[in-house]
Amino acid sequence: MITDAQVEAWLREDVGHHDVTNDVPGETTGRLVAKESGVVAGLDAARAVFEYLGVTVTDAAGEGDRVEVGDTVLAVEGTARHVLRGERVAVNVAGHASGVATKTRAAVTAARGVDPDVAVAATRKTTPGLRGIEKRAVAAGGGDTHRLDLSHMVMVKDNHVAEMGLETAVEQFREKLSFATKVEVEVEAPESAPRAADAGADVVLLDNMTPGETERAVDLLAARAADLGREVLAEASGGITVETVPDYAATGVDVISLGSLTHSAASLDYSFRTG
């Protein structure tokens, strides 16, 4: 949810001390227009900006819609002063979110072309203050949001293992968990995947492995999970790109996660036109 305080901070940052160009009389209309094809996201934030300023949003595309060059994704009407005050913030936030959604859709399409059941997820590598917008953009692109914050799942990473040992870390963290919280353990070698399952992992993160190493880890983990009589999911992560997603989808992993969906997505090019 976008709060008034968040919108006010965005607007204050953009306007600065004094903006003489914002003093425009009369009423006007405006349209947010796509200058390139992509997937729409972030319109809830753009709408919040305009509505905070008393500008009426008269039409908007749906989150996750595919748009082409020249398509209008948002239309507004109100005082020229307030339409112009809000337009750059609205364009920036919608463009950023739509870029995330567009990159996510490309990764999902690439992965599902190989394995229709594999999930493509984001990570916590989000922009401070914009996590909600970026995570919703991932969902609009057809991806999985993964953890929204640290409380949503315990992830035992390499630093925890180095400090405490794998089994001790899992045991100590599990003692403090709700029954509904899953435990994920990060491993860096295929042979460590069964060990993580033995320690009680619900999900094993196969970190920075090649597709060949990932496939071996998936096979070892599946065999161990069968022995344990429970499901243990396999997640591939680390250095994976949209171009290499199909290679990882072919390994049999359940989830492929990419930090680049949020931290490296190019903004979708939008233009705001008045009158």
The encoded tokens of residue 76 equal 């507004």
120-107-59-54 Cα dihedral, nearest 10 degrees: 70
The winner for highest mean pLDDT among 8-12, 66-70, 129-133, 198-202 is: 66-70
How far apart, in whole angstroms, are the C-alpha atoms of residue 81 and residue 62? 27
How far apart, in whole angstroms, are the C-alpha atoms of residue 121 and residue 222? 21
* Residue that is written with structure tokens 């033995």 in the block: 198
pLDDT score at 11: 84
| pTM attached to this predicted model | 0.91
Show the domains of the chain with their CATH numbers: 4-102+265-274 (3.90.1170.20), 110-263 (3.20.20.70)
CB half-sphere exposure, 161, CA atoms < 13 A: 15
Ramachandran area for residue 116 (φ above 0: left; ψ -120 to 50: alpha; else beta):
alpha
For 165-219, how does the pLDDT look when each residue is reduced to its tens digit (9 = 90+)? Answer: 888 888 888 888 888 889 999 999 999 999 999 999 999 999 999 999 999 999 9
Instruction: Give the closest residue to 60 by CA, choosing from 38, 39, 48, 75.
Output: 75
- Calculate what percentage of the chain has a pLDDT beyond 70: 97
Total number of residues shown for the chain: 275
The encoded tokens of residue 10 equal 């965005």
Q: Please check whether residue 274 is in contact with residue 30, taking contact to mean a CB–CB distance below 8 angstroms.
A: yes
**What residues are labeled active site?**
88, 125, 157, 186, 207
Tell me the sheet residues that pair with 187.
206
DSSP letter (8 states) at residue 144: B
Three-state DSSP class for 32?
Answer: strand
DSSP letter (8 states) at residue 101: H
* Residue that is written with structure tokens 């399409």 in the block: 109
Average per-residue pLDDT in the chain? Answer: 93
For 243-268, how does the pLDDT look when each residue is reduced to its tens digit (9 = 90+)? Answer: 999 999 999 999 999 999 999 999 99
